[in-house]
A and B are shown apart, each in its own frame.
Chain A
Amino acid sequence: MINELTGQAAATVDPVVDPVADPVVDPVTVDIQPGLGARVYRAIRFFAHRPGLLLSIVLVVLVIVAAFWPGWLSGRDPLRGDPSDSFRAPSAAHWFGTDALGRDEYSRVVHGAQLSLKATLIAVAVAFVVGALLGLVAGCAGRWVEGLLMRFVDVLLSIPGLLLSLAMVTALGYGTVKVAIAVGIASVAAFARVMRAEVLRVRHATYVEASRSCGARWYFVLRRHVLPNSIGPVLVLATLDFGAAILSVSSLSFLGYGAPPPAPEWGTLVATGRNYLANAWWLTALPGLTIAATVLATNRIARALDGEWARQR
Chain B
Amino acid sequence: MEDDAIGSAMRRYVTRRLAQAVGVLWAAYTVSFFVLYYLPGDPVAAMFGGGLDSTTVSPAQIAELRHRYGFDKPVFVQYIDYLGKAVRGDFGNSVSTGRSVTATLAGALPQTFALAGLALLLSVVIGGALAVSASYTRRRWLRQVLLSLPSLGMSLPTFWVGLMLIELLSFRIGLFPAFGDGGLRGLVLPAVTLAVPPGALVAQVLAKSLLAALDEPYVQTAQSKGASRLRIHLRHTLRNASLPTLTVVGLIGGQLLANAVVVETVFSREGMGRVTANAVTTQDIPLVQGVVVFGALVFVLLNLIIDLTYPLLDPRIIATPGSRGAIAGVGA
Point out residues on A near B: beta carbons under 8 Å: 150-152, 154-164, 166-173, 243, 247, 250-251, 254-257, 267, 270-271, 274, 277-278, 281, 284-285, 288-289, 291-292, 295-296, 299
Contacts and interface: CB of A to CB of B under 8 A. Distances in A.
Interface in B290-332: 291-292, 295-296, 299-300, 329-332
B35 A167 contact: yes
B279 to A, nearest CB: 7
A159 B46 contact: no
Interface stretch (B26-34, B120-128, B181-189, B228-236): B26-34
Contact of A160 (B23, B156, B258): B258
Contact of B258 (A162, A254, A256, A285): A162
Contacts of A156: 31
B209 interface: no
Interface string B279-297: 1110111001101100110
Contacts of A168: 35, 39
Contact of A169 (B265, B280, B299): B280
Contacts of A150: 332
B39 A171 contact: yes
A164 B296 CA distance: 10
Interface string B101-127: 000000000000000000000000000
A16 to B, nearest CB: 30
B291 A163 contact: yes
A170 B157 contact: no
Contact of A167 (B159, B281, B292): B292
Contact of A170 (B167, B285, B330): B285
Contacts of B289: 167
22 contacts: A154-B330, A154-B331, A158-B329, A159-B31, A159-B292, A159-B296, A160-B258, A162-B259, A166-B288, A167-B32, A167-B35, A168-B35, A170-B36, A250-B157, A254-B262, A257-B280, A277-B167, A284-B160, A285-B164, A288-B164, A292-B156, A295-B156
Contacts of B158: 247, 251
Interface in B9-26: 23-24
Interface of B: 23-24, 27-28, 31-32, 35-36, 39-40, 46, 50, 151-152, 154-160, 163-164, 166-167, 171, 254-255, 257-259, 261-262, 265-266, 276-277, 279-281, 283-285, 288-289, 291-292, 295-296, 299-300, 329-332
A161 B329 contact: no
A164 B292 contact: yes
A288 B151 contact: no
B288 A167 contact: yes
Contact of A292 (B28, B31, B35, B160): B160
Contacts of A267: 157, 159
A155 B160 contact: no
B278 to A, nearest CB: 11
B39 A160 contact: no
Given A251-B159, A256-B281, A288-B164, A167 B36 contact: yes
A246 B299 CA distance: 24
Nearest to B300: A158
Contacts of B295: 159-160, 163
A86 B32 CA distance: 46
B167 A284 contact: yes
Contacts of A285: 164, 167
Contact of A255 (B50, B261, B285): B261
Nearest to A190: B329
Nearest to A189: B329
A292 B157 contact: yes
A254 B159 CA distance: 8
Q: Which 7 A-B pairs have the closest CB atoms?
A: A288-B160, A160-B254, A162-B258, A160-B258, A171-B39, A155-B27, A295-B155
Contacts of A170: 36, 46, 279-280, 283-285, 288
Contacts of A299: 151, 154-155
A18 to B, nearest CB: 33
A116 to B, nearest CB: 12
B160 A171 contact: no
B167 A281 contact: yes
Nearest to B50: A173
Given A168-B39, A255-B280, A295-B155, 12 more contacts: A155-B31, A157-B329, A157-B330, A158-B300, A170-B46, A170-B284, A171-B46, A250-B157, A267-B157, A271-B159, A277-B171, A285-B167
B22 to A, nearest CB: 12
Given A170-B279, A291-B160, A163 B300 contact: no
Nearest to B255: A160
Contact of A158 (B50, B166, B285, B299): B299
